[in-house]
């Protein structure tokens, strides 16, 4: 295992804001950014606000986890459509092509490789994507005991920016309610009333409450919000700044 140059603080912040994930391996190579990013965004019930990772040994991963540092496990799962099996038309793949005027549909892939990832954090919990749950054991107790996990890659964060996790519900009248955990926010979401359409209005629109789960990350360039679930969950991070000193709330400035 040879020494590699770590990602810089500037790179980590930039990639965090654009919501891509990067992992440098001990041989000097890197994991595929699109595939790794897709795998990390598929982690269930948690959004990982750590954009840059470095490969380490199993022993180093064990020590890091015991010291309270998050650890990421990454493996490859191979898939292949059986010969003669019918393949469903994929909207995600073909609609963008049709929108720009192409008349030929893109062929479906018959085989490929997916990254299976499992995020381990002694304080915040353990989370994984579907590929991990299908291809690897989910019991974290066996991960550091020398069990044969095949070609498993152990990763630790290159840089960790401080962050806090928030669970809120935006009521139909616009008021924001914050909860201590996800379960509380879901319960609050279920009991908040809808905003019925006004009888005087020609537009019969019902306004529903909105559940929002996000991280606020403190970077050298400021404090940013990354929404995991909410109205801006598919957008890049945006800056959060105090509106004033009277505690009236915060303003949000989009990052272009």
Q: Give the model confidence (pLDDT) of 179-202 as tens digits.
A: 999 899 999 988 888 876 656 665
| Distance in angstroms (rounded) separating the CA atoms of residues 201 and 139 | 56
SS3 of 227, please? strand
Stretch (H or E) spanning 13: helix 9-18
Residues 6 or more apart whose CB falls under 8 angstroms from that of 174 comprise none
Helices (H) and strands (E) counted in the chain, each on its own, are 6, 12
pLDDT at residue 91 is higher than 50: no
pLDDT at residue 169 is higher than 90: yes
* The residue to which tokens 């629109």 are assigned: 205
Q: What is the pTM of this model?
A: 0.77
| Distance in angstroms (rounded) separating the CA atoms of residues 237 and 94 | 28
Question: What is the rounded average pLDDT of the residues 21-45?
Answer: 95
> What are the φ/ψ torsions at residue 36 (nearest 5 degrees)?
-65, -40
3-class SS letters over 77-134: EEEECCCCCCCCCCHHHHHHHHHCCCCCCCCCCCEEEEEEEEEEECCCEEEECHHHHH
Across 10-14, 24-28, 180-184, 248-252, least confident range: 248-252
255 contacts 224 by C-beta, under 8 angstroms: yes
pLDDT value of residue 168: 94
Radius of gyration of the chain (CA): 22
> What are the φ/ψ torsions at residue 30 (nearest 5 degrees)?
-135, 155
Residues 6 or more apart whose CB falls under 8 angstroms from that of 14 comprise none
């Amino acid at each position: 295992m040879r020494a590699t140059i770590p990602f810089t603080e500037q790179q980590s912040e930039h990639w965090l804001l654009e919501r891509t994930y990067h992992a440098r391996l001990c041989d000097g190579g890197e994991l595929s950014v699109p595939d790794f990013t897709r795998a990390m965004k598929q982690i269930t019930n948690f959004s990982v606000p750590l954009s840059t990772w470095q490969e380490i040994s199993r022993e180093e991963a064990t020590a890091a986890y015991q010291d309270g540092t998050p650890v990421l496990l990454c493996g490859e799962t191979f898939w292949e459509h059986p010969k003669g099996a019918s393949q469903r038309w994929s909207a995600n793949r073909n609609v963008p092509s049709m929108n720009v005027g192409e008349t030929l549909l893109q062929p479906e892939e018959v085989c490929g490789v997916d990254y299976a990832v499992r995020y381990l954090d002694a304080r915040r919990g353990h989370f994984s994507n579907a590929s991990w749950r299908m291809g690897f054991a989910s019991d974290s107790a066996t991960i550091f005991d020398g069990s044969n996990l095949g070609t498993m890659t152990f990763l630790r964060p290159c840089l960790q920016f401080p962050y806090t996790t928030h669970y809120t519900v935006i009521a139909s009248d616009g008021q924001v309610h914050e909860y201590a955990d996800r379960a509380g926010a879901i319960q609050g979401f279920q009991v908040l009333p809808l905003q019925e359409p006004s009888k005087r209005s020609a537009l019969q629109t019902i306004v529903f409450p909105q559940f929002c789960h996000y991280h606020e990350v403190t970077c050298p360039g400021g404090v940013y919000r990354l929404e995991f679930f909410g109205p801006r969950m598919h957008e890049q991070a945006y800056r959060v700044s105090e509106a004033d000193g009277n505690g009236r709330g915060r303003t949000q400035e989009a990052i272009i």
